[in-house]
Amino acid sequence: MKPCRIKVVPFYKGHSLKAMRTLFLVQGISLFLPLLLFSFVAVGQQVPAARDTQKEDKDHKSEAAPAGAAVDSDTYKVGPSDVLMVSVWNEDKFTKQVVVQQNGKITMPLVGDIQAGDTTPKDIEVAVAKSLTKYVVKPLVTVTVLEVGSKKYYLDGLVNHPGEYPLAVPTTILEAISKAGGLQDFANKKKIYVLRGDKKIPFNYKEVINGKNMDQNIHLEPGDHINVP
């Protein structure tokens, strides 16, 4: 067998420099274009997949059970305008969101009205379970406070976030100010007061924040107005 001989021809032979540049440009484009198209196809396949994943996450979150308000189910006293979630295990027709009426009652399917006002969520669970025994064998009931509407306090004046706040758990004046984002720069820290009905209760923020006269840092009651001049 005769060895194969390769004849090397200078790239510029018979061609002008301009022509060779054009040839190299065309060859470069022909090599690069398939890679570019492949990249677009790969990205196009990834985007729908990412959208599907986001949709699944969104659907999963929408199916999650609603979070309750931060209340103690053993001690919190339910009142009018509170929003409750009554869940009965494996009984969708008895699982529903209810609002406590002004007379303190909630209404359940088939059962009718049940007293909820001035009772705890745990007490309501027992009352609902007792009422459902006619329709469900050993009902497992859970009552969650979704929104506190019956007990509120108010912050006015030079706080960072004035407004209406739910009194879901025992809250002191200092804790309430912290929840409102603290005091503004020009607030009079020594002249803060709480309006409780016709009473004006003084509160010296500067003393309390330094651990002095802590007895003035009282717990709030429904309807209290904290005023920060």
The second-level CATH assignment, the architecture, of 152-228 is Roll (3.10)
Cα–Cα distances (Å) from 100 to 22, 79, 144, 207, 228, in that order, read 82, 7, 12, 41, 33
Domain limits of the chain? 83-147, 152-228
Residues 20/26/29/33 CA torsion (nearest 10 deg): -150
Give the distance, in angstroms, between the CA of residue 16 and the centroid of all CA atoms in the same chain. 71
The region of weakest confidence among 3-7, 20-24, 67-71, 179-183 is 3-7
pLDDT recorded at residue 73? 86
Phi-psi region at 223: left, alpha or beta (left = phi > 0; alpha = psi -120 to 50): left
Q: How far apart are alpha carbons 172 and 178 in whole angstroms?
A: 10
List the CATH code of the domain at 83-147: 3.30.1950.10
Amino acid at 182: G
Q: Measuring CA to CA, which residue among 181, 187, 194 is closest to residue 225?
A: 194
Residue 118 tokens read as 């001035």
pLDDT recorded at residue 169? 87
State residue 88 phi and psi, 5-degree precision: -115, 120
For 96-154, write each residue's pLDDT tens digit. Answer: 999 999 999 999 999 999 999 999 999 999 999 999 999 999 999 999 999 999 999 99
Average the pLDDT over 187-203 and give the result: 96
pLDDT recorded at residue 40? 54
Choice between 190 and 40, residue whose per-residue pLDDT is larger: 190
Average the pLDDT over 183-195 and give the result: 96
For 43-72, write each residue's pLDDT tens digit. Answer: 455 544 445 545 444 444 434 445 556 788
Choice between 15 and 91, residue whose per-residue pLDDT is larger: 91
For 72-99, write each residue's pLDDT tens digit. Answer: 888 899 999 999 999 999 999 999 999 9
The answer to whether residue 9 scores a pLDDT higher than 50 is: no
The gap between the terminal CA atoms of the chain, to the nearest Å, is 106
